[in-house]
Copies of this chain bind each other. A is one copy, B any other.
Amino acid sequence: MKRTVGVLLFERFELLDVFGPLEMLGLLEDAFEIRLVSEQAEVVDSAQGPRSVVDDYLVDHHPYDLLLVPGGMGTRREVENQALLDWLNHAAGRAETVASVCTGSALLARAGLLDGRRATTNKNAYNWVVRQGPKVEWQPRARWVEDGKFWSSSGVSAGTDMALALIARLCGIDRARQVAHWAEYVWNEDSTDDPFART
């Protein structure tokens, strides 16, 4: 079964939040098809400048097996974007797995999707993210956290470690390690090993 990965893009998304995970998922062409999704813009600027072309729009309501929500400075504005939060709720309800990177968990939190669940985020933006979800059980020490179908990673690079763990879950540990080897990536396989923990 080939899974469709929907990646939410918004102005000032963080480059590596998106393209670290997509490098790893994209190396398994037979397992994942990648679709970039935005609210309206055909071309979306990253926080670092480089621009991406999207494939789908929120109004299309395409179903995605894996929904990936990045962080970046743009999340500061998008937490107030009710149309986007409504879409997240709808898309998450249909997805097999929902994964956030960095401050992307602030968007899931504001959509109410993480209430009563364990989740984590970038430790550099920890206090701001925590305020977006007072009912979330925020974890100050975790490279990534899995709670039911919701996965969330720490800052930026942690998303790549989480993506490999997702591949391990969906495709087996051998394929995840093979992908890391192809990309000459030293995978931190232990979700509790957080070199940037708050405490």
Contacts and interface: CB of A to CB of B under 8 A. Distances in A.
Interface of A: 14-16, 18-20, 22-23, 25-27, 33-34, 36, 43, 46-53, 122-124, 154-158, 181-186, 188, 195-196
A22 B51 contact: no
Contacts of A122: 184
B49 A26 contact: yes
Nearest to A157: B185
A14 B182 CA distance: 12
A195 B20 CA distance: 19
B52 A27 contact: no
* Nearest 9 A/B pairs, CB to CB: A26-B48, A155-B184, A16-B23, A19-B19, A157-B185, A156-B183, A51-B53, A184-B196, A34-B49
A52 B49 CA distance: 11
Given A184-B155, A184-B196, A48 B20 contact: no
Contacts of A49: 22, 26, 33-34
A186 B154 CA distance: 13
Contacts of A182: 124, 155-156
Contact of A20 (B20, B26, B27, B123): B20
A19 to B, nearest CB: 4
